[in-house]
Amino acid sequence: MRYFLILILVFNSCKEKKELRVQNLEKQNTEYAVFIVKENKTNIITSIFEDLTSNNLNNKNHYFTDKENDTIRLNVGKGKQLYFCTKYNYRDTVFVANGDTIFIDLKNEKNEISSNKNLFDIKKYKKTNKINELKLNYIEVSKDYPLEIEPSEYEKRKPLYPVKVDFNKIKTDVNGVNNLIEVIKNDLINGYRYYDSIAEKKPLKRNYIEQLKENLKIDCFSEAITIYNFSLNDEAKKFLISNRFINEGLFEDNYSYQIIYRLINSILLENKKKSLGHKIIIDYKKAMSLLPNYFKGDNLAFSQIVCIKAAIDEGHSKESINELINNYKKNKINTNYDLYISKIEKDYFLKKNDKNSSEVELSDPMKLKVNLDKLLIENRNKVIYIDFWASWCAPCRKAMPASKKIKEQYKSKEVVFLYISIDNSFEAWQKAMNKEGVSENSFLAINYPEANFYKEKALKTIPRYLIYNKKGELVNSNAPGPDSDEIIKELNKYLED
């Protein structure tokens, strides 16, 4: 028996540490659900968000507050599943409807959540333990030595657990894996029957029951796709692309984005990635061409949007994103996502991409356009130090404190510090810029990497620093970083010229 040790994130949004269920009274016709944050004395960021779906692409679905006491009002209709988290807590889950009031008490840096409604009396469907028993034939999860993951500023992350997978057995024991998939399938069927029987008796709680059914569905889907990824089992694939998951209403499900995204990676692209320079990326162009083999109608339209959104989130180039958008427009099925596409084109400055442009086009934080030549002219008779960076570049951001320190050191001298981000996203750049405290003389590169300037300077990796002398001439195209010992000597040299 041959084992391979791998790490996977044991996480499922349906298996949260704690779930608060808030009664949904359909007869109540109030305008908002109210969330009251209190006792946040350390001003940590509290995050309230919902799953990304086809229905909320154009709306804000993530809310933050760092106030000691705050009130947030959201229109959630007859009911939505929302999540709460801070960097000290794993996410908590709540099903909330208009008319509900949720209290989030952050005293002692904990999420103490309560509500103005009674908890549901619906007993959840309990999945059979046979799934876990059968999985042990192939997959062994050890929780004795979890790898703790550093929390983000918004959320404490689930730990990673070491997992042993017997790849030889899971790929060759076809009957055993088929049996496991059948058990997962039956669990989903029996769970649906259980919830449907309750819905007949408690029609006022139907919205919450439908959410429980969706939670069960994504849970079974995650079990099956994990098994498929290790085994490439045909029955697992048939189950995953069956109408249990890919049906007419998929695009409207709360977990539609997650299901389609994982199907694209596991089924359409067979978990294969392609190399692009120094990056390994998912080939969403290929995925887009394969989508019609699996999705139709509204599901196909939304799956195209999933490819575009995923490419943006994973930092693909503007050229690649533009190509995906053009493919979407060429084969457009409906107009449901035109507003979303227009917003992307505006936020990412995608409509104009002149590959032979002689200008380095930039945007300031107010979205006013400027070009590098103009900045060089405006700062003639000064030494100009340009920092090319991005929100996702850890070394770039690590050097920012040193950059601000040097900037302060030269504030009374003829030196100008310019910060040019090559981020795809205006919002990601703006957020990182404000967090790092470099909003002055800060710009977003609009036509990177198409402009000739970037090609001539071979500006492919960041951080990258340039120095212009007082005449506006580029005198160092690969200057020392702000955290180096040489930078002071270099700047002083051109100040004295």
Burial (0-12, 13-18, 19+ Cβ within 10 Å), 368: exposed
Residue 290 CA to its chain's centroid (Å): 23
Distance from C-alpha of 258 to C-alpha of 218, rounded to nearest angstrom: 9
Over residues 138-174, the pLDDT tens digits come to: 999 888 888 877 787 788 888 888 889 999 999 999 9
Burial (0-12, 13-18, 19+ Cβ within 10 Å), 23: buried
- Residues in the chain predicted with pLDDT less than 70, given as ranges, are 1-29, 117-121, 276-279, 351-356
pLDDT at 331: 83
pLDDT at 289: 95
Residue type, position 491, single letter: L
pLDDT at 146: 83
Helix (H, G, I), strand (E, B) or coil at 244: coil
Q: Check 14, 85, 307, 393 and give the catalytic one.
A: 393
Distance from C-alpha of 446 to C-alpha of 318, rounded to nearest angstrom: 9
pLDDT at 6: 40
Active site residue 393: yes
Over residues 386-398, the pLDDT tens digits come to: 999 999 898 999 9
pLDDT at 109: 78
SS3 content of the chain, % helix, strand, coil (to 5): 40, 20, 40
H helix runs in 232-366, sequence order: 234-240, 256-263, 284-290, 297-313, 318-330, 338-347
Q: Decide if 120 contacts 198 (C-beta within 8 A).
A: no
Q: What's the order of all strands across the beta sheet hosting 160-165?
A: 4-9, 160-165, 139-141
pLDDT at 488: 92
pLDDT at 13: 37
Distance from C-alpha of 413 to C-alpha of 488, rounded to nearest angstrom: 13
Q: Check 14, 220, 307, 396 and give the catalytic one.
A: 396
Q: Decide if 294 contacts 268 (C-beta within 8 A).
A: yes
pLDDT at 390: 92
Q: Decide if 403 contacts 438 (C-beta within 8 A).
A: yes
Relative to beta strand 19-21, strand 89-96 is: parallel
Distance from C-alpha of 489 to C-alpha of 497, rounded to nearest angstrom: 13
Helix (H, G, I), strand (E, B) or coil at 251: helix
DSSP state for residue 147 in the 8-state scheme: B
Sign for the CA dihedral angle at 239, 243, 247, 250 comes to negative
CB half-sphere exposure, 260, CA atoms < 13 A: 35
Relative to beta strand 442-445, strand 464-468 is: unpaired
**Cβ atoms within 10 Å, residue 443:** 23
pLDDT at 408: 92
Checking phi first, is residue 228 left (phi over 0); if not, alpha (psi -120 to 50) or beta? alpha
pLDDT at 2: 45
Q: Decide if 124 contacts 55 (C-beta within 8 A).
A: no
Question: Cα angle at 170 between 166 and 173, to 5 degrees?
Answer: 130
* Structural domains of the chain, ranges and CATH numbers in brackets: 241-351 (no CATH), 361-496 (3.40.30.10)
Distance from C-alpha of 444 to C-alpha of 365, rounded to nearest angstrom: 8
